[in-house]
Structure 1
Amino acid sequence: MPLPLYPLALAVFAMGTSEFMLAGLLPDIASEFDVTVGTAGVLTSAFAIGMIVGAPLVAALARNWPRRSGLLGFTLAFAAAHAVGAVTADFPVLFVTRVVAALANAGFLALALTAAAALVPPDKKGRALAVLLSGTTAATIAGVPGGSVLGTLLGWRATFWAVAALCLPAALGILKGIPTGGAKEEATGGPALRAELARLKSPRLILVMLLGALVNAATFGSFTFLAPVVTGTAGLDEVWITVVLVLFGAGSFAGVTVAGRLSDRRPGPVVAVGGPLLLLGWPALAVLADEPVALFVLVFAQGALSFALGSTLITRVLYEAAGAPTMAGSYATAALNIGAAAGPLIAATTLRTEAGNLGPLWASGLLVAVALLIAFPFRTVVTAGRGAEALQ
């Protein structure tokens, strides 16, 4: 894979760490700003909504920028938002920094997904996407637990400073490694914005975006609420929460890596094998969660299957949106984050049912079942190699 992909992955690692790290920092933030934990939780919602709205909006605004300038600008804006957040004494200012960070993250991902696809031959988009998404999976393995430990030892502000610092080598790598040509030059001779937005009328594109969102909703619905499963259902000490999160992250890294080698030319086996296994895995985890060994094994397996299937579907989004060269990345980003935002909200509604802590696991199974039921009649679209022409 081209070397410039790796600074992009480092930036995604920093941004993924920021997106997920607040789960362990909210009590300290709430205490320092004298607000409730529920009020502090709006920082997470602000980031998710900013990502969903920001992906297409910022991508449209930045489509005529040189790609290197856009990536560098978004990375530095993300770092600056965290630096301001680390020093502010006002909760509303901290809230604004999370919105700004989300918009910068959305814009970066929209450009980075397109840039990664442009750095490799047309038949290797899936492998390039796997390298890029490895930044997210590495964030769940190392970034989030590391941020939690750093926050415990030095306070939550130190974690914000650490994220800002991670952006600097990524920015340098982008400056040195990404070609000066990019979106501006391509857009000049490419389709107009209206034509790129018109791709959203494609039934194929809408289908794979919907499926990607559903699978991602299942993934983050359960991931968000793994902690009470570990300490409540399995009866383990709090220290094991980090272990389980690392196992999920390690599985997701394995899943993205394997799927990256198959999703370009042979997405069919990933969907045909991974889909049913993922469907069976969530209820199996719900039934066996009180057995620690089974919990550890299944968490790793579900992480691998979730990200293998999810990354394959997002690769399909890039293929089906090939006629929208500057907006394709934003469509993929929107699909990912609609799922990431909706999944925890859906899962949360199950916590007050008889299922209790296990409710999110059953909800994830239901979301995957819906995705597979929708996909089955259109399986030739989902499993087509290289990306067929969209339906008119």
Structure 2
Amino acid sequence: MKKLLMTFLAVCCLILALLGLDFALTASRAQPSSQKGQTLTFYNWGDYIDPSILSDFEKETGYKVNYQTFDSNEAMYTKIQQGGTNYDLAVPSDYMVAKMKKAGLLAKLDKSKLTGMDNLNKQFLNQSFDRGNQYSVPYFWGTLGILYNTKRVKGSDLTSWSSLWSDRYKNRLLLVDSARDILGMTLLSQGKSVNDQNKADLAAAQGKLSSLMPNVKAIVGDELKIYMAQGEGDLAVTYSGEAKNAIEKNSDLAYTVPEDGSNLWLDNLVIPKSAEHKQAAYALINYLNRPDVAAKNAKYIGYATANQAAYQQLPKSIQNDKAFYPKQAILDKLQVYQNFNSYWTQAYNDAFLEFKLGKS
């Protein structure tokens, strides 16, 4: 009897052990990466995500996020190209996606691992820098336009880029420190493309730009929005998101996109080829594609979301703000920057540097 009891207990222990093993395997399948405590390295622009979204993502998935920032596409490109740090997710702008793809720095996306792609506005998909979105997922978008103080400047006077050359704006204009943007808006004022690669056109644009110098108070970087918020400039050429930030600090400010068109910029989520935690990267992309998360992020950042389902969840005051969600007639005139080869990149940079030296 005792032997029979011992045999029965042994069988019970074996069954319990097998059940425990099955439970462990099931749990492991359900959360394979979070059980390993993986740390995702996210390389993004500064202050370009609601911090609470990252902490919520960590709680929900078990992944940890190492958030690192850059201040220019070129700095980000160089860091990823050099290696050293294995970034799992990065946020390059449109033309930089093309450059990184050409250099073999990006992993081709496995669409079977992506969710929420149907939430994205189709207008921002299948762009020239990444046909079929084989390497990138739209994150935020915006425009280049004119930020102005309504107490000192009439918005009705800013319907075209050429209006900036008016004598009334002498020593009142701030310009963002960017060759492509400032030469681009000058080319647009002459009826040309922001991607113009004609020597005569660039020379003509450089000549017209030099005549703008009497109106230029300063050529600045990130501090432009601070200067405008503090009333140190009457109008400025800058990005829609930067304008939004300044307007939140000074209600006298407004933003407009000239009717002759502008740049449409798109920042995108990409997975570097060298990424060590690709599964974690897909998890964060999918999380950011959720409408509730994307809407929360858009309200925090102030930039326009590429997620149409998220846009529908935003307050009507934001949805109806035509400065940041322009009417279709303006959208149709927006142009995405193409990635220039080294010759044209240098040509634009040299032309802009010569212009800036005239201010010094």
Alignment TM class, shorter chain as reference: under 0.3
Query: Highest CA radius of gyration, 1 or 2?
Result: 2
More helix by share: 1
